[in-house]
Chain A
């Protein structure tokens, strides 16, 4: 099967006028302009399969949003090639628009003063969708994303979480095969973030949509994506499965023990205690120095244990480790 996205040595260099100093600097700049070139993306190559959920991460200014803009067709590259669902995005922007859905976390595609239902109706005309199929699709998506009760409210009067759910519904109304999400959970509270992640993951699994996501929130990557591409200074520095990444960068496990006693003492080499609530003990196990089953056994030996869980450390720590390892 053809990949959904193919990128070959994609580059983008911005050319910005250099500001001159001095009383006549502005005037000289008018007649003899000088430019500074900034390489935002310096040659990236990757493929994304149909139905894959991929996160593109990196520090601020790394080039991830620029990459996403080039792939969605709203920015022309300086060099390289890309194919998205068989289209060259910047040459066939209009045709590609029917096949992709895009959510920019900080930009709205809804009319703020218009009831969401009216915005969706206008989007139906914009995407030239048949009325009956559209009504069915809107009903399904509104139900799935929990916005059925919000359709008569203008987005301007919704909470950020409600508005983001409406934004995602809007991006899915024309049944796109590929979804680009740029910081979809930015500014949301914990509950809203969790709901958005669940919705995106379930939606993609249900309809086989390919998802390309950028985020600074490691939980977005952890809970939505199965693959991570790390970009720094315009280049790909890592491209790996989320699980593999976690294992490769953190040879650690977290053992959480809930006990009748307020605190458990487990003294072993390679085990450190993390701050936690009373009656809960969180132990970080360096798997190179201590075996997890030995740590669990030592904890159980205390008696009065209500619950034991063994987890990988959160993705946030993985990202932190990656950046530290790469010197980002």
Chain B
């Protein structure tokens, strides 16, 4: 293959070809993330152990709350069997998702972004795809620990509920990844992304229902949480393992799809604005 000078007029590529090439490159980056995570298996084992510890602590906590059923508190509305399985699902999502915001921050702040912009593919797309690969590997590795918990506690929900939960958990992981990516993209404008990340984490905790289902909330807080992307991220997958009708499942999936599209568009616009800023002002 000899390189020959190709001039602009000879090099036009149809957008469809570019779009497919983007997808193929993203698939390649996903694979890199997946194999990278499995290759670093000691870290994966550590993450599974961390998940197990989290579940033991939180399961015991909700077990105590559920057992006492103090009048006038939300404990009276807890589902039979406690919230162990619910927290098992929300933690499965949160602990699995790769901290892609740190990669974004590092590349923007260190100026490594400049070398990435020399490629004919979207830098952000490749970063997110690679992080998605790592997230998939973690979800696969952590899942057996979750199954073990369900078996040990005797709260096995049945294959249909498991399938619904798994699907919504994957959707939740995609949303979480997009939220993290948005936090990471803020590095174009702020010195550190940590404050933005702390805010996102608090919102996931409260509006996402990280430790308790948003169905336990009352009034405006319930409405706000339900309408936010954070419920689609964590609350819906968690709810699916407790009880969810097929109709509720379809609505949850639709909400996840809508939020995924919205967040992806916002991320694409933020990335476009950030890259334009870098092209104008230069990298760090």
Contacts and interface: CB of A to CB of B under 8 A. Distances in A.
A328 interface: no
Contacts of B126: 126
Nearest to B35: A118
Contact of A126 (B7, B112, B119, B283): B119
Interface string B1-39: 111111111011100011001001101110010011001
User: Looking at B1, B3, B280, B283, which has the most chain A CB atoms within 10 Å of its CB?
Assistant: B3
Interface residues of B, number: 42
Nearest to B282: A75
Given A85-B6, A95-B12, A125 B28 contact: yes
Interface stretch (A105-113, A145-153, A219-227): A105-113
Interface in A102-133: 102, 104, 107-109, 111, 113-114, 118, 121-122, 125-128, 133
A72 B118 contact: yes
Given A76-B280, A95-B8, A109 B21 contact: no
Given A76-B279, A107-B111, A125-B28, A102 B118 contact: yes
A126 B279 contact: no
A92 to B, nearest CB: 7
B192 interface: no
A175 B118 contact: no
A93 B4 contact: no
Interface in A71-85: 72-76, 85
A102 B119 CA distance: 10
A126 to B, nearest CB: 5
Given A87-B8, A90-B279, A113-B36, A126 B120 contact: yes
A74 B118 contact: yes
Contact of A107 (B9, B32, B112): B112
B7 A85 contact: yes
B164 interface: no
A14 B282 contact: yes
A273 interface: no
A290 B284 CA distance: 53
Contact of B21 (A92, A99, A128, A177): A128
A210 B3 CA distance: 10
A50 interface: yes
B60 interface: no
Given A72-B118, A75-B282, A95 B11 contact: yes
Given A73-B117, A75-B279, 13 more contacts: A72-B118, A73-B118, A85-B6, A86-B8, A87-B8, A93-B279, A95-B8, A97-B120, A98-B13, A109-B118, A121-B28, A133-B1, A207-B3
